Amino acid sequence: MSASGRRNLAPFSFFTVVSTSPPMVSITMERRDDGREKDSLLNIRSTGEFAVNVVTADMAARMCATSEEYTSEVDEFAVAGVAARPAHRISVPLVAAAPISMECELEQIIQPGGDTIVIGRIVLWHVDAALFDARRHVDVLRWQPMGRVGASFSPVEHLVELPPLAPVSGDDVPAAGR
């Protein structure tokens, strides 16, 4: 959301965990096609707050509607037909239908190359209780978050369990690999 209260949505597939203690997340932002910074970056810089809402397959079309380069005056919640709900610790609204949302306060902005990395401290998590399994872990198959590989999107519908690797000692590694 902008400092003047204009709501903004933008799909970012470049986001990941930065730290578990304290909990932090990063978003990597490219520039607009014309070279200007995106509204999301300008808004985060001016307010010091943002939310990460993880969408599911049934939300994909609405998510894609927010990927257009609208002017900063456009309310992208309205464009996508997405309902908002208030956050508890930040002023930025959350996507009401998102089963997982993170309320974030700006920690740092860095530009190691052509893109900009925004690092936020997660101050509050929102997780739909229906996603928890018996051990109180998020069941990814119930959740089915949207993932991105290259230019394509896909819901997570299948998990691959890999066997644990046998321990390797230094004697087992060929000399060329040391």
Q: What is the domain-level CATH number for residue 53?
A: 2.30.110.10
The reported pLDDT for the residue numbered 68 is: 78
| Structural domains of the chain, count | 1
- According to the model, what pLDDT value does residue 176 have? 59
Q: How far apart are the first and last CA of the chain?
A: 50
Instruction: Specify if 8 maps to a domain.
Output: no
Residue 6, in any domain of the structure: no
Note the pLDDT of residue 170: 62
Residue 111 lies in a domain: yes
- Asked if residue 129 belongs to a domain, the reply is yes
Is the residue at 7 inside a domain? no
Do the domain assignments include residue 144?
yes
Domain hosting residue 97, numbered range: 15-177
With respect to residue 2, please indicate whether it lies within any of the assigned structural domains.
no
Q: What angle do CA 67, 73, 77 make, to 5 degrees?
A: 50
Rounded average pLDDT per 10-residue block, the chain, 178 residues: 88 86 95 87 95 87 80 87 95 94 97 95 96 92 81 81 78 59
Which of helix, strand or coil describes residue 19?
strand
The pLDDT value recorded for residue 177 is: 52
Residue 94: inside a domain: yes
Helix residue ranges, H only, 17-130: 39-47, 60-65, 76-80
